[in-house]
Amino acid sequence: MQVRDILTAHQVSVASEQEGVVRSKTDALRRLAALLAAGQPGVKADEIERVLGERERLQSTGVGSGVAIPHGAMEGVDRLIGAVLICPKPIDFDAIDGAPVSILVAVIGPKRATGEHLKTLARISRLLRDETFRRRLLGASTGRAAFELIAAEEGRSVS
């Protein structure tokens, strides 16, 4: 499963004046929860936000190089769902390297899909390891443009 398989263009957002600026980790988790809820009818954004927040309290999902991968598992979700938030103005996320975060990719899945969940997190990590790709992603002016960059990048990658 590729990252683009758990996303739609509607689940990718750029934190801009038009789409709403994100100023904090809390703002980012709230926006990601809303994007994730849009991909799973019947699951409430506030419940997703609670799950993501609980995971963050255990340990930050800020993996370094301006990237965070908030994730969690919950009842009522029938498949892996992803959301992407691009923050042109980086936010503090308590990342492992201490650097602020600009690219957030969130994943929520069913509790029973641990193996697929971990494989997806690894795929996201590999995709965002490429500094040139991260720069291109940060240059996207809309969620649709960022989604298209992800889909194109995965189309080129070999795995």
Which residues, in sequence order, are CB contacts of 124 under 8 Å at separation 6+? 3, 69, 82, 105, 107
- In terms of DSSP bridges, do strands 12-14 and 81-91 run parallel, antiparallel, or are they unpaired? parallel
DSSP helix, strand, coil percent of the chain (3-state; round to 5): 45, 20, 35
Give me the pLDDT at residue 159, please: 40
Residue 3 has pLDDT above 90, yes or no: no
Residues in the chain: 159
71 catalytic? Reply is: yes
Tokens matching residue 11: 């689940």
CATH number of the domain enclosing 86: 3.40.930.10
Q: Containing domain of residue 146, as a range?
A: 3-156
Count up the domains in the chain and report the number: 1
Local confidence band at 27 (pLDDT 50, 70, 90 cut-offs)? very high
Cα–Cα distance, 70 to 56 (Å, whole number): 7
Which tens digits make up the pLDDT trace of 44-84? Answer: 999 999 999 999 999 999 999 999 999 999 988 889 999 99
Catalytic residue among 25, 71, 117, 123: 71
